[in-house]
Amino acid sequence: MRIRLAAGLILGCVVAFLLAGCAVFRPTDQVRFGLWASEQNLWDEATFRWKKALAADPKSVAARNNLAVAYEKKGLFAEALKEYEEALKLDPNNTYVKSNYKNCQENIQPLKKEAAETKNEKK
């Protein structure tokens, strides 16, 4: 009887440990979930997931790059540039990040020009 009880307790502990492990997301899981959300145009969810990935792994170039893309989609260009720059510090030769950073800079130039023209018109 005691052997069955001990075996049951051990088995219960093992099952509880395994189930607890399944509930924890790894940073790579968060990055993948964020990618899925971005494909559905759920940019707030994607942003949340990539921030969560960065909280667990601040050196994740993929999470930083993807978060920057999300910021661009949301019109938060200063934040996007900051994340691209952080990603490039971590991996200066990453062609994806370099390309996205360059595109972001090029995309905001017309916006800066328009803002300056609007400001001058108001004077």
Q: Could you tell me if residue 59 is inside a domain?
A: yes
> How many domains would you assign to the chain?
1
CATH number of 59's domain: 1.25.40.10
The span from the CA of 117 to the CA of 111, in Å, is 10
Q: pLDDT by residue (tens digit) across 52-62?
A: 999 999 999 99
Q: Could you tell me if residue 20 is inside a domain?
A: no
CA 10 to chain centre: 39
Q: pLDDT by residue (tens digit) across 53-89?
A: 999 999 999 999 999 999 999 999 999 999 999 999 9
Q: Could you tell me if residue 101 is inside a domain?
A: yes
Q: pLDDT by residue (tens digit) across 8-54?
A: 445 454 444 444 444 455 878 999 999 999 999 999 999 999 999 99
Q: Could you tell me if residue 53 is inside a domain?
A: yes
